[in-house]
Amino acid sequence: MFTHLKVRSCLGILLALFFTGMLVANGAAWLDTRSSNAKLGQVNEAYSMRVVPVYEAYTLMLRARLAMDAAMINRQVGRITESDADAARAEDLWRRSRERFDAFASEVRAPALQEKAAPVAAAFKLYDSLAAEQFESMRGQDARAFALQMDAVQGAHLAFDHEVAGYLRYVDAQTNGFVEAAATQHVRANTLIAALLAVAVLLSIGAALFVSRSVLRPLLRAGAHFQSIADGNLTNPIEIKSHNEMGQLFLGLQRMQASLAKTVAAVRQSVHQISHGTRDIAEGNVLLSSRTEQQAATLEETALSMGRLAVTVKENADNALRANQLAEGASQVAGRGAAVVADVVGTMQDISASSAKITHIVSVIDGIAFQTNILALNAAVEAARAGDQGKGFAVVAGEVRALAQRSALAAREIKQLIADSAGRVQAGAQQVALAGETMREIESAVHRVTDIMGEIAAASSEQAQGIDQVNLAVSSMDEATQQNAALVEQAAASARALRDQAEGLAQTVAVFTVSPRVVIDMPDARVSNASTANQSTPARAGAPRKRVALQRPAAAPAPAGLGAAVQDDWQVF
């Protein structure tokens, strides 16, 4: 009946019944307490409003009479002051007695009480009137009348006392009835509370049985299943016997066991694939490490060759630079030679001009000698005509003619020499001009050689820089190859660590027993076989086989897993 009822609903019903019983019990107790308080209030009211005032009026009246007696006695013995004080006190007590009795009379409103209080009121009225007469005697200081009135007042006092006693007996009987009724109601309330407590105990027992059957037993079964799963047994069937919260718990446990079984089976299959994959990766890493070391050796030899080539190219660049400097020096010397030749050409031209001027001067001298010769000839003719007077003049004319002839001869010789010199100077000027042209051609050729040597030097410098860059690149490639070799070894170590972890994981999941009916859905994850690297080997002609010591970086911790399978086959770096 309760197997399909939710535990929450059952517990809610039980708690509702339990709280209902508690509310009823508390309500009954509250009503009983309220009723008892009401009855006790009535009793208190009966005593405080209907008994205490009349009793106080009785007491105050008695004290007033005693004060009157004391006042009369003190006046008789001559103690006037004490007598006046007692008289005043008696007046005050009498007034207060009247007030208390009036309060009593005003509180008695019930017909039954009024019937019982009427004799008391009549007795107090008589008692008060007689006491008033006695007070008048006290005020008039009439001792004889006061004494005569004392018996009447005492009789009224006794009558009032009798009526008050009867009234008190009636009030006590009524109060006892209230108390008995309250006790009876209290017994009924206690009986109801006891019955409700018994019902609560029965409900508690029923709740305990319900919790034991609907909660504790399923929890014990669930604990047994959990212990079985913890022991690795995933084959125990989990039965669902209800559809309440416990049924939901067992349904979740059943789903958890099925999911865990699928997970364990998937882990086993993955471990199997990882084991094969890590084995292939380890083999491929070994081959890759060997080839990387061979490439490192080849790169080292290449680096050495590039270093030697760099030295040679640097020497060529230095030689080209020095040749360029020498060519520039030769160009400067050729320039200076061309300048000197130009100066020589100018000098030769100046000499040729001077020779021309000298020739002209010699021609003038020759002309002068010719004219002098003619003049001397004319003078000789004139001297011959003169006869003896002209002999001396003829001698002079002869000497002048001879001198003119020698001058003309010398002028012709000088002219011939100058003509020869002019011819030679002209030939020298032409040769110097040819030399200047040749020097200009030499200077131009030297400039061209200088430009070519500059280009050769620049090309050699660029070649040296390129060789240095290639050398740096080869060095970087060598370092990268060494680092790759170290990383390959680390990858091999990581693959071995992964294989060990896969084996440990296989041992871990081996404790679980999975039903062969468990079906899992997994992607076809395969790791490429690194053995394909054996099909091709690095074919580098003349590659050195020297083993080089690689600088290994610090061993890194083994990675938790590999992101992808090794698929590349390095043949050429």
Distance (Å, rounded) from C-alpha 47 to C-alpha 66?
26
Task: Evaluate if residue 571 carries a pLDDT over 60.
Answer: no
541 has a pLDDT exceeding 60? no
Cα(167)–Cα(39) distance, integer angstroms: 20
The single-letter code of the amino acid at 472 is L
Residue 513, SS3? Answer: strand
* Band of pLDDT at residue 456, cut at 50, 70 and 90: confident
Cα separations in angstroms, 320 against 329, 453, 460 = 14, 6, 7
Stretch 550-569: mean pLDDT: 43
Q: Give the type of residue at 37.
A: N
Left (φ > 0), alpha (ψ -120 to 50) or beta: where does 49 sit? alpha
Tell me which of 6-10, 44-48, 413-417, 566-570 is least confident: 566-570
pLDDT of residue 53: 84
Mean pLDDT of the chain: 75
| Least confident residue range of 154-163, 228-237, 266-275, 527-536 | 527-536
Instruction: For residue 36, give both structure tokens.
Output: 């008892």
When pLDDT is cut at 50, 70 and 90, the band that residue 570 belongs to is very low
Question: Cα-flanking dihedrals φ and ψ of residue 513, to 5°?
Answer: -105, 115
CB of 468 closer than 8 Å to CB of 310: yes
Read off φ and ψ for residue 233, nearest 5 degrees. -90, 110
Mean pLDDT of 320-332: 77
Q: Coil, strand, or helix at residue 159?
A: helix
Q: Could you give the domains of the chain?
A: 7-204 (1.20.120.30), 249-472+505-532 (1.10.287.950)
Which pLDDT score, from 0 to 100, does residue 531 have?
45
Integer Cα distance of 269 and 276 in angstroms:
11
- Summarize pLDDT for 77-133 with one digit per residue, the tens: 889 899 889 889 988 999 998 888 888 877 765 666 667 778 888 888 888 888 888
Mean pLDDT, rounded, for 464-493? 79
With residue 317 as reference, give the H or E element that holds it. Answer: helix 245-386
- Rounded Cα distance between 533 and 284, Å, is 7
Residue scoring higher pLDDT (114 or 455): 455
What is the pTM for the complete model shown? 0.32
Q: Pick left, alpha or beta for residue 77 (phi over 0 → left; psi -120 to 50 → alpha; otherwise beta).
A: alpha
Report the distance separating Cα 570 and Cα 573, nearest Å: 7
According to the model, what pLDDT value does residue 530 have? 43
Q: In a 10 Å sphere around its CB, with 0-12 CB exposed, 13-18 middle and 19+ buried, how is residue 97 labelled?
A: buried
- Categorise residue 190: left if φ over 0, alpha if ψ from -120 to 50, beta otherwise: alpha
Instruction: Please give the torsion angle defined by the CA atoms of residues 70, 72, 77 and 79, in that order, rounded to the nearest 10 degrees.
Output: 70
Residue 9 has pLDDT above 70, yes or no: no
Q: What is the mean pLDDT of residues 270-280?
A: 79
Q: Which residue, among 499, 510, 520, 494, has the nearest Cα to 276 in the 3D structure?
A: 499
Per-residue confidence band for 536, with pLDDT thresholds at 50, 70 and 90: very low
Q: Report how far apart, in Å, the C-alpha atoms of 40 and of each of 21, 101, 103, 113, 260 are.
A: 28, 24, 22, 18, 74
Half-sphere exposure of 474 (CA within 13 A, CB side): 19
* CA pair distance 45, 52, nearest whole angstrom: 10
The 10s digit of each residue's pLDDT in 338-360 is 777 777 777 877 777 877 787 77
Burial of 76 (0-12, 13-18, 19+ CB in 10 A): exposed
The amino acid at 248: Q
Closest CA to 543 of 573, 503, 498, 507: 573
Buried b (16+ CB within 10 A) or exposed e, 131-165: beebbebbeeeeeeebeebbebbeebbebbeebbe
Q: What pLDDT, on a 0 to 100 scale, did the predictor assign at position 515?
A: 66
Distance, C-alpha 562 to centroid of its chain: 28
pLDDT of 497 > 70? The answer is yes
Whether the pLDDT of residue 557 is over 60: the answer is no
- Residue, of 473 and 572, whose pLDDT is higher: 473
Residue 198 confidence (pLDDT) above 70: yes
Q: Identity (one letter) of the amino acid at 392?
A: G
Report yes or no: 235 and 260 within 8 Å, Cβ to Cβ: no
Residues 6+ apart with CB under 8 A from 278: 495, 496, 498, 499, 502, 527, 562
In this predicted model, which residue has the larger pLDDT, 517 or 386?
A: 386
Question: Residue 408 has which token pair?
Answer: 């003309």
Q: Which of 167-181, 326-340, 533-547 has the lowest mean pLDDT?
A: 533-547
pLDDT in tens, 131-140: 888 888 888 8
**Which pLDDT belongs to residue 190?**
79
Calpha distance 335→447 (Å, rounded): 10
pLDDT over threshold 80, residue 200 = no
Q: Per-residue pLDDT averaged across 388-406, rounded?
A: 78
Are 408 and 362 a contacting pair, CB within 8 Å?
Answer: no
Report the largest interatomic distance among the alpha carbons of the chain, rounded to a whole angstrom: 252
Percent of the chain with pLDDT over 90: 2
Within 212-230, residue ranges assigned H as helices are 217-230
